Amino acid sequence: MKILIDHPNPFLLTHGGFQIQIEQTQTAIRGNGVDVEALRWWDDSQGADVIHYFGRPGPGYIESAHKKQIRVVISPLLSAMGSRSKGLLWIQRLVTRGGLWGLPSMLTAPFGWNSFRLADACIANTPWEAHLMSYMFGVLPRKVHVVPNGIEEVFARSQPVARGPWLICTATITERKRVLELARAAVQAQTPVWIVGKPYSERDPYALEFIALARKHPELIRYEGPIQDREKLAQAYRQARGFVLISTRETLSLSSFEAAACQCPMLLSDLPWARTTFKDTVHYCPIDSVTRTARHLREFYDAAPDLKPDIRPKSWVQIGEEFKKVYEKVLSQNEI
């Protein structure tokens, strides 16, 4: 069995959890004895039984692969869709289903709507995303597989230590992660927060405003950039009073799983991905004004010493085994 990993965006232009997810998935699959490598777009001699595409390919991509008897498994990000209200999802469903049935394929192809049904398997990170794949795009439930992210062993084997005064947030410095809003709330609530991450661009106005605020309030906002050493990052989670992520949309936050593996108390945005994953074992914060966020932040800070998330994420090796089963299932199908 030969697997090729494909993704449309170069890592040198973006960074973040999706890059880590792709890299760790490839390593995990290889760790389960599967021949896997990245798809080389320039190499027409590269063969494969399955292409695992991280993202949403166009229908023509999948049709071309099928003509060569190559199965296609897709792992799309549904972070924006998965964070919308039920009312907005209902409207989007009407538009999507109407477009699929009533418009020429040349008009709908750029959206990749039909790719969900053409793919041999669709991978969802959470049960909520699995529901959306069927609800929004009409994917047969038997083709949808829930495979969460895994965690690296360095987080699973980390040992408890005395927790300090800092909350921690590991995230890219960008609007979607609401890092600036978190920093402003921390100042209002007088709760020290350690931000770990970096912006997509050093010239980004949002990031510059955050850095200026951090420099103005070093006693409450700790910012030293990203932590590249995974051992040190695990120690940071263990030492933190709690983990905070109040982003506007997510698929399944890798950093939340890292924090959970380190048994770090958690405050997350009140979104379906978090509710379906962590249920009532963590605290939730609505996506609202800085003032209201500050109130939730202060309440969480005071309660954190008595909290512990009741979830143990699987290792990436275990996740690789789940992917292997998906590949074997699609290859057992008689026809493409």
Per residue in 211-224, pLDDT (tens digit) is: 999 999 999 999 99
Q: Provide the sign of the torsion angle of the four alpha carbons 82, 84, 87, 92, taken in this order.
A: negative
Which CATH architecture best describes the domain 153-306?
A: 3-Layer(aba) Sandwich (3.40)
User: How confident is the model over 290-331, as pLDDT tens digits?
Assistant: 999 999 999 999 999 988 777 888 999 999 999 999 999 999
User: How confident is the model over 254-288, as pLDDT tens digits?
Assistant: 899 999 999 999 999 999 999 988 988 899 999 99
CATH code for the part of the protein at 2-150+316-331: 3.40.50.2000
Question: 17-31 and 254-261 are packed helices; what angle lies between their axes, rounded to 10 degrees?
Answer: 70
Range(s) within the chain of domains with CATH label 3.40.50.2000: 2-150+316-331, 153-306
pLDDT at residue 84, as a whole number:
84
Which spans in the chain are helix H?
A: 17-31, 59-67, 86-102, 105-108, 115-118, 127-137, 153-156, 179-189, 205-216, 230-239, 254-261, 272-278, 290-303, 316-331
